[in-house]
Amino acid sequence: MSYARVRASWNQGSLLPLSISILVLVSLGAIENLGIATAMPMVEKEFGHVGLYGWVFAAYSLSSLFGGSFFGVVGDRYSLRLALGTAVVVFSVGLTLGGGSTSMFGLVGARMIQGFGYGGFVVLPYMMISRYFEGAQKAKMLAAMASAWIVPSLFIPPVAGVVAEAWSWRLVFLGVIPIALASGMLANHALTKVEGGSKEHARRDVPLRSMLSRTLSGLGSAISVGAIVIALSIRDPLIKYLVVFCGVLLFVLSVSRLVNTSGLYKRGDTLLILFVRGLSSFAFFGIESFLPFVLFSVKKMPITEAGLVLTASSFSWTAGSWLQARASQSVSYKVRVAIGLGIFMLSLGALWLNFWDANLQGALSVVVWFVAGAGMGVVYPSVTLAGLGSAQTGSDGQLSSLLQIFDTGGFALSTGVFGLVLASGVNHLSVSLRIARYSINYEVIIVVALVATLAALVLALSGRYSFLRS
């Protein structure tokens, strides 16, 4: 079935199963992310090693960089069905190992395997949207993807909190496995209708060398970000800066290779879009990953209540996404991103005040993070649409991989760096002093996130984005 015939069949409803499967895959990611983020304070309580807390998220994110590139290549050269099926299996294996972990180190290793599979869930839905949907339908699907977080955000944080406290955090990991398998089967059925046979849809005109280059670029990006994070914990200044330099150099080389093979016709502005994506991810997800932990540890909120910040941001993110979808045809990219980032910066300031003043209740953070989610809900789909709009026909896989590299790379870098900052100086402190130190360190983290957001705003306003007006 040709792309033209697939697109023409939209009005007949033949893409409805594909739309549903995309939303189910996003919901799977929401269930996994919300559940594990909520349960992690209980994991740290059992295993200790707060210095590795951030690496549970960073290792997951870094391996998903490689996974995203790998499964994007498989989807381009063979079929989206094959790529998705393999991703589901690897993801499920990682969850199984994570649920059976006996130490924080073992959990980090399991998360690397799980993250590799999750990389497919990140890239493949974007490839489906770019390949089979047209015009305004893309904006609506991106907004619908944000909506797919609503139902999980309602019940996953409180359920995961209850399960982790009353029984075991391990059940949170293991409980996602049947959901992953069912989601994969549904998506496979939908892709069968639009792709036909794997041989029919394979793009064997794309050189194998190019595909290998893209895969290695994803691997290089993952290694480079990991090296930078690890370097920050090295005490010898010479070795530290040498590793950072090598990490930055490897990242530039990896991204440059993808940019060169993707056929982006407005590379300067496209790079601005990618950096805005990375910095936004760095700030938002870096702060959110540790917010339940500091509310649980510093503000003494029960884990079920601390997890409500994830529910709040998911709801408002969805509202912001739908708002930008309605405004995407009448409000410029610059204005939408500036408004979203501005709202998020104000939220960061309020969050800092909440931890600076020990008398303020932790519940205020739930309200503040609700507002923050609305801002990012406007920013993320706007940046995604702009990125997809910069790609030439046939480069959707490369562009999706680039978006994921900057998105996940920013997340991995922030969780790794912020984890080191949060754990700084807490060893050998009494419980009361450790709690005070957590609060101070988290205030520093918020300031760093605020600077990153300001840099994203400046970059977003710097481009001309002529391809968005064509």
Q: How confident is the model at residue 387 (pLDDT cuts 50, 70, 90)?
A: confident
What's the pLDDT tens digit per position in 75-104? 777 777 788 888 889 989 998 998 888 888
Distance (Å, whole) CA 64 – CA 405: 9
**46, 172 Cβ separation under 8 angstroms:** no
**233, 420 Cβ separation under 8 angstroms:** yes
> What is the arithmetic mean of pLDDT over 348-360?
88
Helices (H) and strands (E) in the chain, counts: 19, 0
Q: How confident is the model at residue 273 (pLDDT cuts 50, 70, 90)?
A: confident
**55, 197 Cβ separation under 8 angstroms:** no
Distance (Å, whole) CA 309 – CA 293: 11
Distance (Å, whole) CA 174 – CA 146: 25
Instruction: Count other Cβ atoms within 10 Å, centred on residue 226.
Output: 23
pLDDT higher at 166 or 342: 342
Place of tokens 């199984």: 96
* Res. 13: pLDDT tops 60: no
Q: How confident is the model at residue 264 (pLDDT cuts 50, 70, 90)?
A: low
Instruction: Count other Cβ atoms within 10 Å, centred on residue 210.
Output: 15
Q: What angle do CA 285, 290, 294 make, to 5 degrees?
A: 145
* Res. 470: pLDDT tops 60: no
Lowest mean pLDDT among 108-117, 212-221, 292-301: 212-221
| Residues in contact with 62: Cβ distance below 8 Å, sequence separation at least 6, in sequence order | 112, 115, 222, 225, 226, 408, 412
| Inter-axis angle of helices 333-356 and 431-460, nearest 10 | 160
* Res. 448: pLDDT tops 90: yes
Comparing C-alpha atoms, which of 310, 301, 294 is closest to residue 36?
A: 310
* Res. 135: pLDDT tops 90: no
* Res. 330: pLDDT tops 60: yes
pLDDT value of residue 172: 85
| Percent share of the chain, pLDDT over 70 | 80
Q: Could you tell me the domains of the chain?
A: 12-468 (1.20.1250.20)
Average pLDDT for the chain: 78
What's the pLDDT tens digit per position in 404-441? 778 877 887 887 788 778 877 776 666 677 788 888 88
**164, 38 Cβ separation under 8 angstroms:** yes
* Res. 192: pLDDT tops 70: yes
Place of tokens 């360190």: 441
- In whole angstroms, what separates CA 27 from the centre of its chain? 13
pLDDT value of residue 4: 46
Comparing C-alpha atoms, which of 415, 426, 446, 427 is closest to residue 54?
A: 415
